[in-house]
Structure 1
Amino acid sequence: MPQRFAFSSSFRNVMSSKHLRLGSGLLLGLALAACHKSDWHGTDWSHNYQDSFETHSSTKMRYMPDTVTQAYTPSKNGEPNTIVAYHRPPSPSYEDRPLDENIGASVELADYFAALKYTGLVPWITGPGPITVFAIPNKAMEDMSARWRGGLMTPAMKGQLTSILGYTIVSGKWDEKALRKAIARRKGQGVGLKTLYGTVLSVHEDPQTGELFLNNPAGQVSKLWGHSFPQSNGVLYFTQGALLPISHVK
């Protein structure tokens, strides 16, 4: 499938496919070290932050989805049980704040953000961008982690987790309008987006419902949860599931 954009040459050189091979801690270490030393947009990514003084101020915001209130179950035996205990003010996504701030403020993305910090990938979503992130919600993160004995948040699985999370980070400002326009140009065929480590994430539009969904080369599918959220340095999506790079599909 044709790719609709390309990362910068320095990005391609640093994040070549050889860094994705499993079972080699040395290669992973070299890849992560290269990330920190690379010069994308002329910035050391280990200390790359969007300059607030160069960010257009805005009062626009949207509430991000969560499932906290859905955890409430009415009491059946008279024991104290109140919805107040499950109530939480909604999490807003501010359009003039970067991806890392809005993701970090979302209860629904707590596991995803913790994994980004653990793998050292947060700097990739703090810069000027534009960057599009297809973030994985808590339940999907937990279900995915359960596929591996001991889970993904362990030293032995850090390489796998790093490449899986890299599959959710895409270069460019791919909001819904941009995606639908690209799909329309391809006469309804999906559009392929190159992710952080060079693998392709495909986006399609359901011809019946008009919904956008993601799929990987193995045919796995994940629907998007709600609409896209504009960020000062890109776009944020919530997915309904987790997709794996083809090398991780079991």
Structure 2
Amino acid sequence: MISAKVLSYFKSVFAVTIIAFGLSACSAQAEHHGNKKDIVQIAASNPDFSTLVAAVKAAGLVETLQGPGPFTVFAPTNEAFAKLPAGTVEALLQPENKDKLIAILTYHVVPGKVMAADVVGLSEAPTVQGSTIAIDTSNGVMVDNANVVATDIEASNGVIHVIDNVIIPQ
């Protein structure tokens, strides 16, 4: 009999594989047609990033993340947002919490285009928010407390790496 923990792990791995495949397909299709999408367009084209896209809109960061960049975005999935305590996402989307939401979202963005091959050589990286994220490559790649589960999804203005947790600045 398979334990609930093992089953949950396999479901997570399967979901991440599907997300990565979908994002890669979106990116490859856009490149094939010569109109590579920007970071926001790629995220918006995948339903697994609907919470992230809603947060980017609520924070007023759409135009910024559609700008020339380049940006490296460590993008949490809906499943990552669901791991936050109940009511957290809803509270962050309220207008009175816009500054906090901006701080959290910009903590997921590193200036420049940092591909997976570059991340492996780093132990930390400065974020647009102003703090530094820790990078650990000793067992896969972790950014703070999040595992990087898909890499190098190229956009016209940078790159997206998918993570399995929302990272919060100190």
Residue number in structure 2 paired with 1:245: 169
Tell me how far 1:157 sits from its aligned partner. Answer: 2.1
Structure 2 runs not aligned, ≥5 long = 1-12
Tell me how far 1:232 sits from its aligned partner. Answer: 1.6
Note if 1:233 corresponds to 2:129: no
- For the Cα contact (< 8 Å) 1:137–1:238, is it kept in 2? yes
Q: 1:177 aligns with which of 117, 122, 139?
A: 117
Q: 2:57 aligns with which of 117, 134, 144?
A: 117
Structure-2 change in CA distance of 1:175 and 1:129 (3 Å): same
Counterpart of 2:135 in 1: which secondary structure? strand
Q: CA RMSD in A?
A: 2.5
Cα displacement string for residues 111-163 of structure 1 (whole angstroms, at most 9, x for unaligned residues): 00111011101122112211100111112213326264953211232221111
Relative contact order (alpha carbons < 8 A, sep ≥ 6): 1 or 2 greater? 2
Note if 1:163 corresponds to 2:103: yes
Note if 1:222 corresponds to 2:146: yes
Any residues of structure 2 matched to 1:18-33 within 5 Å, and which? Answer: none
Structure of larger gyration radius: 1
- For the Cα contact (< 8 Å) 2:81–2:89, is it kept in 1? no
- 2:95 maps to a residue whose letter is P
Note if 1:102 corresponds to 2:42: yes
Structure 1 runs not aligned, ≥5 long = 1-64, 71-88, 184-189, 216-220
Tell me how far 1:98 sits from its aligned partner. Answer: 1.2
CA distance in 1, matches of 2:116, 2:90: 37
Residue number in structure 2 paired with 1:138: 78
Residue number in structure 1 paired with 2:130: 198
- For the Cα contact (< 8 Å) 1:67–1:108, is it kept in 2? no
- For the Cα contact (< 8 Å) 2:58–2:95, is it kept in 1? no
Cα displacement string for residues 65-99 of structure 1 (whole angstroms, at most 9, x for unaligned residues): 9849x9xxxxxxxxxxxxxxxxxx94522342211
How many residues get paired? 147
CA distance in 2, matches of 1:137, 1:201: 18
Decide which structure has greater helix share: 2
- 2:51 maps to a residue whose letter is D
